[in-house]
């Protein structure tokens, strides 16, 4: 088969690691959605040629170390406060491309007020929100987005709304606010979904540069360690359970 | 007849053996090796290299961005 | 020509913030300091110097906005009053842990809890001993006049950038609400982007250009040995501050038998007490700490060698007195007199306390 041996030349290269990703091995568990979303953000920054003009704000949660993986300037915010931090960064640096990267506990529990108010003020930033229905970093406790019946370390018999309240769709809530221009729910479980998610990231960044207000991109993701499944099973479980509860698609696009 | 062939290079030390690429490959090219890397993961490899078309599905979905893809057209 | 005006303490804070070339103010209304943001909003500095003024949804948000601005090497400040500062304590420890320069003004009121809107100095411990978690220090300046409300905004920014540390101006409702003559400084220009890169480019978020590594602002370090080293680095910084930045004023201490120690508005009342005592031939002096951290330990220790006693006079139930005792180290009596809950003492009350507790 030597006649069909593909030459590994620049000319034949169709996919390689973007230079906006550092060489560090990510601390995430095998198959974690965070890695895929990080990569997409890095690729979009690279494609927009904005590495020197992008400032990221990382959360408290699994993505706390996001700053080790994207080769841009970063601020690490206190738990839930990334939107407040990003507000100031953008207001004081209007020419910069500013985004927050947050999980469900950070954005939809402890940081709810900051989330609502950045969206209401319509700051020109992008919010990337990974919703995997669990607190990963602290060891798999219940999140505001944990599904009814889903078992976690702090709802070991399954989430009971009488005891724990209901999961909620913060994407739908922020889509109601005047300051958001683009609210969408994506996933990264298949190559097709990844391609769509990347387009959403690009659009969010472009909106922020165009001064259109907050773009809010939610990624329904997996936490295979927290869910106690292998990565492939976690993707399947997500398709069968998470996505019906958090339907994919645009909630707002103006 | 022209033929499009592809190949991938896997950074086996970055690979965590999550298998997401294996199930995403439309041509059944990849599988997990019985060998392990420095971190103890069964890394992925081209079990069926001839079937690769260089579609890059595996690389696109890889959470650790450890797959590089090449594609060449043979006339 | 000098610009002299009659102004309220809180309004002067706003004026000084603009004039010192601050890049942003983030705040949330709370009595007795709401005039700071009101004055800024009225003056619209974004149209003149380009300074950003933003009303946040909470003190949590405003202190984290300060964090965001400080991350970029910008001159940012906030102001609040006691309960609001309690909310900000999370942000303060992050700011200190990330070594970010910024200015926080506390026009303090009575506590604990919702307390009262009347003046108090009950936040001495919070300002000087932490408030937030972990081993950190704020540099704390205590103005006792409207003029110092003005001057200390400038000084606070200078110290903040010199040491890459948050600086608190600890005032109180008396000085915030009081009107006095003030000499205003000339408008300083805000730093340009290029100046920020020159001054803070090795750490601030100015955009990762190809000529440098990416800058990361964080207080997270999971390696205990690395983090211990970082804590030690902070200690060294605070020791430098102790060595170089102590500020205080002494009045008639040279021949004094008794010394009143008081800061901020209490020092003004203590001054009157000192004059009353001197008129009666009792040799009373006054030492006013201007920096509460670093505390003027050495001058107090030096006085302790020869005076018959100290009276700490505070608008609280006894906080700074502990630092005086540490400085005096048992060499001479240290007594306390204070009122709390928004009540303010008269010079006569202080004099009575001085006589009862020390002179006898």
User: Is the CB of B63 less than 8 angstroms away from the CB of A33?
Assistant: yes
Asked if the C-beta of C192 comes within 8 angstroms of chain A's C-beta atoms, the answer is no
User: Is the CB of C220 less than 8 angstroms away from the CB of A92?
Assistant: no
Take residue A123 and report the two structure tokens written for it: 């700051």
Residue A243 has phi, psi (to 5 degrees) of: -65, -40
Once rounded to an integer, what is the mean pLDDT over residues A223-243? Answer: 96
Please name the chains neighbouring C, where neighbouring means 3+ C-beta pairs under 8 angstroms: A
Rounded Cα distance, C88 and C101, in Å: 15
Once rounded to an integer, what is the mean pLDDT over residues C47-65? Answer: 98
Name the pLDDT band for B7 (thresholds 50, 70, 90): very high
Nearest chain B CA: its distance from A92 CA (Å): 34
Q: Is the pLDDT of residue A1 over 80?
A: no
Q: What is the separation of C-alpha C344 from the centre of its chain, rounded to a whole number of angstroms?
A: 20
- Which of these, C307, C357, C302, lies nearest to C327 by C-alpha position? C302
Once rounded to an integer, what is the mean pLDDT over residues C34-52? Answer: 98
Name the pLDDT band for A2 (thresholds 50, 70, 90): low
Of B16, B24, B66, the CB nearest to A191: B24
A248 burial via Cβ count (<10 Å: 0-12, 13-18, 19+): middle
Once rounded to an integer, what is the mean pLDDT over residues C184-188? Answer: 97
User: Is the CB of B71 less than 8 angstroms away from the CB of A12?
Assistant: yes
Shortest CA distance from B51: residue in chain A: A4
- Neighbour order of strands in the sheet with C139-141: C52-55, C24-27, C76-80, C102-108, C166-172, C139-141, C291-293
Name the pLDDT band for B1 (thresholds 50, 70, 90): confident
Tally of structural domains, chain B: 1
Burial A167-190 (b: 16+ CB within 10 A, else e): bebbbebbbebebbbbbbbbbbbb
Q: Where are the alpha helices (DSSP H) in C31-101?
A: 35-43, 59-71, 82-97
Rounded Cα distance, C155 and C163, in Å: 12
Domains by residue range for chain A, with CATH: 28-253 (3.40.50.970)
Residue to test with chain B: of A191, A192, A199, most B Cβ within 10 A = A191
Once rounded to an integer, what is the mean pLDDT over residues C304-331? Answer: 98
Residue C14 has phi, psi (to 5 degrees) of: -65, -45
For chain B, the distance separating the N- and C-terminal CA atoms, rounded to the nearest angstrom, is 6
- Which of these, A193, A220, A190, A228, lies nearest to B23 by C-alpha position? A190
> Which letter does DSSP use for residue C117 in this model?
S
Once rounded to an integer, what is the mean pLDDT over residues B31-43? Answer: 96
Q: Is the pLDDT of residue A192 over 60?
A: yes
Take residue C148 and report the two structure tokens written for it: 């110092």
Q: Is the pLDDT of residue A22 over 90?
A: yes
Q: Roughly what angle, to the nearest 10 degrees, separates helices A112-121 and C59-71?
A: 70
Residue to test with chain A: of B26, B63, B69, B75, most A Cβ within 10 A = B63
Digit-coded pLDDT (tens) for C143-178: 999 999 999 999 999 999 999 999 999 999 999 999
User: Is the CB of A15 less than 8 angstroms away from the CB of B68?
Assistant: yes
Full domain range(s) for residue B44:
3-74
Digit-coded pLDDT (tens) for B9-20: 999 999 999 999
Name the pLDDT band for A26 (thresholds 50, 70, 90): very high
CATH for B15: 3.30.70.20
Write out chain B residues lying below 8 Å of A9, CB-based: 70
Rounded Cα distance, B68 and C344, in Å: 73
The answer to whether the beta carbons of residues C127 and C292 sit under 8 Å apart is yes
The answer to whether the beta carbons of residues C106 and C85 sit under 8 Å apart is yes
Rounded Cα distance, A207 and A181, in Å: 8
Q: Where are the alpha helices (DSSP H) in C164-216?
A: 173-177, 193-200
Query: What is the per-residue pLDDT for C301?
Result: 98
Asked if the C-beta of C61 comes within 8 angstroms of chain A's C-beta atoms, the answer is yes
- Which of 13-72 (B) contact A at CB < 8 A? 13-14, 16-20, 23-24, 39, 41, 50, 54, 56-57, 59-72
- Neighbour order of strands in the sheet with A73-76: A249-253, A180-187, A214-220, A126-131, A97-103, A54-58, A73-76, C216-217
Once rounded to an integer, what is the mean pLDDT over residues C96-106? Answer: 98
| Mode of pairing for the β-strands spanning C284-289 and C258-261 | parallel
% chain C with pLDDT above 70: 100
Model's pTM, two decimal places? 0.97
* Cβ neighbours for C94, distance < 8 A, ≥ 6 positions apart: A78, C67, C132, C219
Once rounded to an integer, what is the mean pLDDT over residues C7-36? Answer: 97
Asked if the C-beta of A113 comes within 8 angstroms of chain C's C-beta atoms, the answer is yes
Q: Roughly what angle, to the nearest 10 degrees, separates helices C320-328 and C297-304?
A: 60
| Mode of pairing for the β-strands spanning C139-141 and C291-293 | antiparallel
The answer to whether the beta carbons of residues A69 and A27 sit under 8 Å apart is no
Write out chain C residues lying below 8 Å of A85, CB-based: 64-65, 67-68, 71
Domains by residue range for chain C, with CATH: 3-184 (3.40.50.970), 249-359 (3.40.50.920)
C-alpha angle C149/C154/C156, rounded to 5°? 85
Q: What is the separation of C-alpha C53 from the centre of its chain, rounded to a whole number of angstroms?
A: 21
Rounded Cα distance, C38 and C91, in Å: 23
Take residue A214 and report the two structure tokens written for it: 């907050």
User: Is the CB of C68 less than 8 angstroms away from the CB of A54?
Assistant: no
């Amino acid at each position: 088969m030597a006649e069909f041996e593909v030459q590994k030349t620049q000319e034949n290269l169709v996919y390689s690691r973007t230079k906006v990703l550092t060489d560090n091995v990510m601390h995430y568990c095998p198959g974690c959605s965070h890695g895929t979303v990080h990569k997409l953000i890095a690729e979009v920054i690279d494609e927009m040629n904005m590495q020197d003009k992008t400032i990221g704000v990382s959360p408290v949660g699994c993505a706390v170390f996001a700053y080790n993986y994207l080769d841009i300037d970063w601020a690490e915010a206190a738990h839930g406060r990334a939107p407040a931090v990003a507000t100031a960064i953008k207001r004081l640096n209007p020419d910069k491309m500013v985004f927050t990267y947050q999980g469900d506990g950070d954005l939809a529990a402890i940081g709810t007020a900051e989330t609502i108010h950045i969206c209401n003020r319509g700051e020109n930033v992008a919010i990337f929100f990974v919703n995997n229905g669990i607190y990963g970093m602290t060891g798999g406790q219940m999140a505001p987005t944990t599904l009814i019946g889903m078992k976690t370390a702090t709802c070991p018999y399954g989430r009971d709304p009488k005891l724990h309240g209901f999961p909620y769709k913060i994407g739908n809530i922020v889509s109601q606010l005047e300051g958001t221009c683009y609210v969408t729910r994506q996933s990264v479980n298949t190559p097709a979904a990844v391609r769509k998610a990347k387009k959403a990231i690009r659009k969010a960044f472009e909106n922020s540069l165009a001064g259109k207000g907050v773009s809010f991109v939610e990624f329904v993701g997996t936490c295979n360690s927290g869910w106690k499944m292998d990565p492939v099973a976690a993707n399947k479980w997500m398709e069968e359970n998470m996505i019906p509860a958090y339907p994919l698609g645009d909630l707002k696009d103006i | 007849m022209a033929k499009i062939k592809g190949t991938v290079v896997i950074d086996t030390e970055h690979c965590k053996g999550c298998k997401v690429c294996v199930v995403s490959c439309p041509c059944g090219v990849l599988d997990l090796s019985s060998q392990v890397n420095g971190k103890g993961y069964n890394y992925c490899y081209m079990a069926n290299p001839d079937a690769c078309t260089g579609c890059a599905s595996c690389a696109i979905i890889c959470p650790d961005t450890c797959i590089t893809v090449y594609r060449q057209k043979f006339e | 020509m000098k610009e002299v005006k009659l102004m309220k303490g809180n309004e002067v804070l706003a004026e000084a913030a603009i004039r010192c070339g601050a890049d942003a103010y983030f705040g949330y209304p709370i009595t007795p300091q709401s005039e700071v943001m009101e004055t800024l909003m009225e003056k619209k500095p974004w149209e003149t110097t380009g300074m950003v003024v933003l009303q946040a949804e909470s003190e949590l948000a405003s202190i984290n906005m300060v964090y965001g601005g400080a991350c970029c090497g910008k001159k940012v400040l906030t102001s609040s009053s006691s309960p609001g500062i309690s909310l900000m304590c999370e942000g303060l420890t992050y700011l200190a842990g990330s070594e970010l320069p910024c200015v926080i003004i506390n026009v303090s009121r009575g506590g604990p809890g919702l307390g009262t809107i009347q003046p108090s100095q009950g936040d001495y411990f919070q300002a000087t001993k932490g408030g937030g978690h972990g081993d950190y220090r704020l540099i704390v300046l205590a103005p006792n006049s409207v003029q110092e409300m003005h001057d200390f905004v400038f000084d606070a920014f200078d110290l903040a950038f010199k040491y890459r540390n948050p600086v608190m101006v600890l005032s109180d409702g008396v000085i915030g609400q009081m009107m006095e003559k003030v000499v205003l400084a000339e408008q300083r220009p805000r730093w340009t982007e290029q100046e920020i890169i020159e001054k803070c480019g090795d750490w601030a978020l100015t955009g990762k250009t190809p000529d440098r590594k990416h800058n990361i602002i964080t207080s997270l370090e999971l390696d205990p040995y690395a983090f211990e080293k970082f804590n030690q680095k902070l200690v060294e910084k605070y020791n430098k501050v102790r060595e170089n930045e102590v500020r205080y004023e002494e009045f008639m201490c040279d021949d004094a038998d008794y010394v009143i120690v008081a800061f901020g508005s209490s020092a003004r009342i203590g001054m009157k007490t000192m004059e009353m005592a001197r008129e009666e031939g009792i040799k009373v002096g006054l030492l006013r700490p201007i920096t509460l951290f670093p505390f003027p330990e050495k001058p107090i220790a030096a006085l302790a060698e020869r005076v018959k006693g100290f009276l700490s006079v505070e608008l609280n139930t006894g906080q700074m007195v502990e630092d005086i005792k540490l400085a005096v180290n048992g060499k001479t009596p240290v007594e306390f007199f204070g009122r709390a809950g928004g009540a303010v003492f008269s010079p006569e009350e202080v004099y009575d306390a001085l006589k009862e507790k020390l002179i006898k």
